[in-house]
Amino acid sequence: MVKMLRVLKNSRIITDVIELIQVNPAFTRLMKTLFGVLYLVHIFACIWFFVANFTKEYGNWADGMSLWGEPPEYQYLVSIYWAF
């Protein structure tokens, strides 16, 4: 993932598209920051749910919320909430 992000960061195609559209640099910086934060939120939520899944037999936050029978989308949203 890190290698893929590095390739995207240094990609000439993205730079060419930004120059072609002539986007305000502040807007570009804001979008990069927003996507970076969303990516970190996703990673933390996945790790948080993985730890809950790994420790099922000991009782955890997911057991307390009866999360195991819920749809994956709901589990993901609750994981995002509890990760932060």
Q: Tell how many helices (H) and how many strands (E) occur in the chain.
A: 5, 0
pLDDT category at 2 given cuts 50, 70, 90 is: low
**Structural domain count, the chain:** 1
Determine, yes or no, domain membership for 77.
yes
User: Is residue 10, in this structure, part of any structural domain at all?
Assistant: no
Asked, for residue 72, whether it belongs to a domain, the answer is yes
pLDDT tens-place string over residues 21-58: 777 888 888 988 999 999 999 999 999 889 888 887 77
pLDDT at 20: 79
In a domain, 52, yes or no: yes
Residue 9 scores a pLDDT above 70: no
User: Does residue 15 fall inside a structural domain?
Assistant: no
pTM of the predicted protein model: 0.65
Q: Which domain holds residue 60?
A: 39-84
What are 30's two structure tokens?
Answer: 């804001």
* Owner of token pair 């509890």: 82
